[in-house]
Amino acid sequence: MKLVFATGNKNKMREIREIMSGLKLDVLSMKEAGIDIDIAEDADSFEGNALIKARAVFDFIREKKIFGDEQVIVLADDSGLEIDALGGEPGVYSARYMGEDTPYSVKNAEIIRRLKRKKGAERGARFRCVIAAILPDGNEIIADGAFEGLIAEEPAGENGFGYDPILYLPEYGRTAAQIPPEEKNRISHRGKALKSMREKLSRSSISGTFENP
């Protein structure tokens, strides 16, 4: 059985291959599956956007008979940063927040400025990731994961990307950008959502077709 992950991101592909290893599933990116479509992610929730992407890719594979009669699972994810003191912003708008082309150094400095008067738990924030799966029979499964932290007083760290330098993780005493990438993948919102999805797939009606005995 094929599993297509609706992403072009190499890091995400590496993570999903690691987490789905040991299953009888041929894991492919959209590009590897020969799918090149533009999908408008215009929902107002992570779940909504993940479902839009997964359904679009699933329908495309069906219509174009990309894998003939072979069964396919399609997965798609959506993630972002939620800041309690900003009513959950930037949330689904994380990539577009303050403008798509605005450098993260500017976005991160502005977020810290907006939270200037907030102390301790008032600085609560998290990365959230929702993954949607469409099974060969059209059934849908949702899994999610969160990476809880606080908005740092100052950006710190060179690893990672995006908002990593300003999410301080009290459990680790560091920001997400100060954690080595492999370690972050193991404990991150996306890592947790992927693991949860693997467990849900293993409990689904079709698990017999890809689970090794």
| Single residue of 127, 132, 185, 210 touching ligand IMP by CB under 6 A | 127
User: Is the previous residue joined to 90 through a cis bond, with omega within 30 degrees of 0?
Assistant: yes
The distance of closest approach from Cβ of residue 51 to ligand IMP in the complex, given in angstroms and rounded to an integer, is 13
Here's the x/- map for ligand IMP, 43-72, by CB under 6 A: it reads as ------------------------------
Size (the chain), residues: 213
Residue closest to 13 by CA, chosen among 24, 3, 2, 28: 28
Residue of 4, 19, 20, 81 interacting with ligand IMP (CB under 6 A):
81
Of 15, 58, 94, 166, which one interacts with ligand IMP (CB under 6 A)?
94
95 binds ligand IMP (CB under 6 A): yes
Cα–Cα distances in angstroms (integers) from residue 193 to residues 12, 79, 123, 178, 182, in the given order: 12, 10, 24, 22, 16
Q: Does 93 bind ligand IMP (CB under 6 A)?
A: no
Catalytic residue among 78, 84, 137, 144: 78
Residue closer to ligand IMP, measured from CB, 14 or 24: 14
Task: Give residues 133-172 in contact with ligand IMP (rule: CB under 6 A).
Answer: 160-164
Cα–Cα distance measured from residue 179 to residue 20, given in angstroms and rounded to the nearest whole number: 23
Residue pair 165/184 in contact (Cβ under 8 Å)? The answer is no
Number of residues forming the site for ligand IMP (CB under 6 A) = 14
Which CB, 29 or 94, lies closer to ligand IMP? 94
- In the bound state with ligand IMP, the residue whose beta carbon lies nearer, of 167 and 201, is 167
Of 50, 124, 46, nearest in space to 87 by CA: 124
Give the interface segment with ligand IMP, choosing from 23-31, 74-82, 116-124, 205-213 (CB under 6 A). 74-82
Catalytic (active site) residue 144: no
- Show the DSSP H helices in 92-180 as ranges: 104-114
Distance (Å, whole) CA 139 – CA 131 = 14
CA-CA distance, 189 to 143, in Å (whole number)? Answer: 11
Token pair, residue 9, equals: 């991101």
Binding footprint of ligand IMP on the chain (CB under 6 A)? 78-81, 94-95, 127, 160-164, 176, 188
Query: Looking at the annotation, which residues are catalytic?
Result: 78
